[in-house]
Amino acid sequence: MHVTHRGVNRAAVFLDTEDFDRYRTLLGKALSREGVALHAYVLMTNHVHLLVSAEREHAFSRAMCLLGKGYVPAFNRRHGRTGTLWEGRFRSCLVDSDQYLLSAYRYIELNPVRAGMVARAEDYAWSSAQANLGRADDALVTPHAQFAAVGSDAVARIAWYRAWLDQAIPPAELGALRMHAAQERAFGSKRFQAMVAATLNRDVSVRARGRPRRPLDDVAPADGFKR
């Protein structure tokens, strides 16, 4: 699943390094407890993207509940605030393995680049890019089998992924990723979508929309936080 979660009214959910560190720690504990694997992530100042997989139904929802119960009260105490922090429940869309999964990897880790915050994905400290490029160990990250298969060994995989990140995301692909995430629709082949629709007994294809919403990513927050 590609998961997005943003701050209420697009307000910041991370104000300093301690916030980022606490969220990462609590995220790791919650995912481990529920048996959820994290393949890619980025913690932007006012929202997060996660690429996860779980074998048990509702495991990820339970993990996010645990995370919220630990993070939100601590954030409020530190920063002298009360009330909700997140804009409702997280959003998620199922992602087909194969090329669709790799597109989600790239979309997530290039968020800070599109926002003009860094020149390359690995320059951003609060994402999985350094781990997936073999530049740092990150206990949060578990390579998806499809990602591991892009190279015959770690060196080949890293070289392939480096080139993949350096490619510009085609506009049609970028638009599709945003649309599927916003509408919580299955991102994949027609066959994959038909399978998911039959399993869930509901339509999972994107629908035509009216006035487009402002994208969740690609905007550098003006909160004064030094990165």
Q: Where are the beta strands (DSSP E) in 14-107?
A: 36-43, 47-54, 91-93
Per-residue model confidence as pLDDT tens for the chain (227 residues): 899 999 999 899 999 999 999 999 999 999 999 999 999 999 999 999 999 999 898 999 999 999 999 999 999 999 999 999 999 889 887 888 777 889 899 999 999 999 999 999 999 999 999 999 999 999 999 999 999 999 999 999 999 999 999 998 888 888 777 776 676 666 666 665 566 556 666 665 666 554 444 554 544 443 333 33
pLDDT value at position 219? Answer: 43
Burial of residue 153 (CB within 10 Å: 0-12, 13-18, 19+) is exposed
Strands 47-54 and 36-43: antiparallel
Start-end of H helices in 80-114: 99-109, 111-114
12, two tokens: 């910041």
Amino acid at 107: Y
Bridge partners for 47 per DSSP:
6
* CATH code at 2-200: 3.30.70.1290
Q: What is the DSSP letter of 87?
A: S
**DSSP reduced 3-state for 148:** helix
> What's residue 222's pLDDT?
36
* Phi, psi angles (nearest 5°) of residue 34: -95, 0
Distance CA(47)–CA(66), nearest Å, equals 18
Q: What pLDDT shows up at residue 28?
A: 97
Q: What is the pLDDT of residue 136?
A: 95
